[in-house]
Structure 1
Amino acid sequence: MACRVQKRISLRRKLHILRVLTSSNSAKRTSIANSTVLRLYKLKLALETVKRHYENLLATRGEHINLLNHVKENKDVKIEKVRAGTFMVKVTCEKGSNTLVAILEAFDEMCLNVQQAKVSCENGFSLEAIVVAEDQTLDVRDVSEALVKAIGKQSGEKDLPKFDKKCDL
């Protein structure tokens, strides 16, 4: 007898919880069960909608990243003369296997010493550096031409003549 009472109390407690969760006003078991099934179906539909939206966002993100990877950046070389013989160099170009090496070799050929540099290869190659020339007469145009030649040579363009200057070591 006590077992039956416990089962009935347990069933009523569970039905009460279902009634609260489904916002059902009915006291009948079948009505509560139907509203519970309806509520679960609505939740399932909402979950499928969220999954579709998430998959669309992932696809859009993938397309965006793909487009960013295929966009080719133009070579951009900006040189600012800070003071006599000191230059602020900013280079932006597409990624290449030896871009940094080619730029550093160009600096070496022009007898430029790198004092500070920041390099990034995130969406292309970019370099910001402060360089000091051993030859104080070096011009911004000379530095920019040498860097454009170095970047062009690295990316496979026709071989251009090197900067003809020897360093005093």
Structure 2
Amino acid sequence: MACRVQKRVSLRRKLQILRVLTNSNSAKRISIAKSAVLRLYKLKLALETVKRQYENLLATRRECISLLNHVKENKDVKIEKVRTGTFRVRVTCEKGGDKLVAVLEAFDKMCLNVEQARVSCENGFSMEAIAVAEDQTLNVRDITKVLLKAIGKQSGEKDCSDL
């Protein structure tokens, strides 16, 4: 008999806890159980919604990272003719590789002597130089083309003439 009373007290305690958790005002066991099942169902739906939103955010993140990886950094080569045979060269591009070596090799191929240069690798590669041409027939367009080709090869791009 005492065992039965303990079970009944235990059941009432559990029903009271369940009623508090489900915000149920009913005293009936069936009503409390229905409220608990309804509450669990709502929580399950909320959890599925959160999972779906999380998966959407991950997909968006992957897409953004993919787009950022495919966006090419600006490669900028500006050349000003200071006087006959003397050029002011400004090169800016993304970090990585031996950009300085490639630019200096390009200068060497074009027979340009660098009189003064300033190089920075803080927010990407940038270089300002004053170069004097041994050959007076060099023009700005030729130098620009060769320098763009040099920094393009260093960043892993294929040259069109190599194909």
TM-score, normalising length: structure 1: 0.58
Alignment of 1:124-143 (within 5 A): 126-127=124-125, 138=130
Q: Report whether the alignment pairs 1:14 with 2:18.
A: no
Distance 2:68 2:117 in 1: 34
Give the aligned length. Answer: 134
SS in 2 for 1:91: strand
> What do you get for the CA RMSD once the two structures are aligned?
3.8
Q: Is the 8 A contact 2:24 2:32 kept in 1?
A: yes
Q: Is the 8 A contact 1:96 1:154 kept in 2?
A: no
Instruction: Provide Cα deviations, 1:14-59, integer angstroms capped at 9, x if missing partner.
Output: 1111101111111111111111011101110111111111111111
Distance 1:34 1:158 in 2: 72
Q: Which amino acid aligns with 2:93?
A: T
- Segments of 5+ residues of structure 1 without an aligned counterpart are 80-88, 121-125, 140-144, 160-169
| Matching residue of 1:152 | 149
| Change in 2 beyond 3 A, CA 1:100/1:47 | farther
Distance 1:28 1:158 in 2: 81
| Change in 2 beyond 3 A, CA 1:150/1:16 | same
- Segments of 5+ residues of structure 2 without an aligned counterpart are 80-89, 108-112, 132-140, 154-158
Q: Which amino acid aligns with 1:152?
A: K
Q: Is the 8 A contact 2:78 2:144 kept in 1?
A: no
| Matching residue of 1:73 | 73
| Change in 2 beyond 3 A, CA 1:152/1:19 | same
